[in-house]
Amino acid sequence: MSIVTKLVRGIAACAFVLFPISASAQTQTTARLAGTVRDATGAVIVRAEVVAQNSATGEKRTATTDGSGDYVLTSLSPGTYHLRISATGFSAALYTSIEAGSSETVTINAILKVANPTSDVTVTDTPHSAVRER
């Protein structure tokens, strides 16, 4: 057997051994949370803030909805999450105990309600000195 034949067989053997390792290394081991945010009329909400917090570690991940009202949080550690979705002018939506497993995409579509109007009062007058009686 020639040296070239031995070399080719050695390379082929290495390729067969290494191929399963590289294929398994590409297997997804993280979780994803995704969905669409809409208002009560069905219109999408753009630039809504989506915050996922891992219940066990406290780690937070944030995303913002795109022009279609869609969001995706990728590369999350598998576990249990709390999700808060908020947008200006709307009441926040809160979701708890979301189980996100390895290689899993959990879809959470949210409908945000218009927030109750609030008013702020701005005082621009300077306070008067209090007079103390003795």
**Closest to 59 in 3D by CA, of 78, 35, 85:** 78
Answer for the pair 65, 88: CB distance below 8 angstroms, yes or no. Answer: no
- Res 5 pLDDT > 50: yes
pLDDT tens per residue across span 8-53: 565 555 544 444 544 444 556 899 999 999 999 999 999 999 999 9
**pTM of model > 0.85:** no
Q: What is the pLDDT of residue 22?
A: 46
pLDDT tens per residue across span 77-134: 999 999 999 999 999 999 999 999 999 999 999 999 998 876 566 555 555 545 545 5
Q: What is the pLDDT of residue 85?
A: 97
The CATH fold assigned to 28-112 is Immunoglobulin-like (2.60.40)
Answer for the pair 93, 111: CB distance below 8 angstroms, yes or no. Answer: yes
The residue extents of the domains of the chain are 28-112
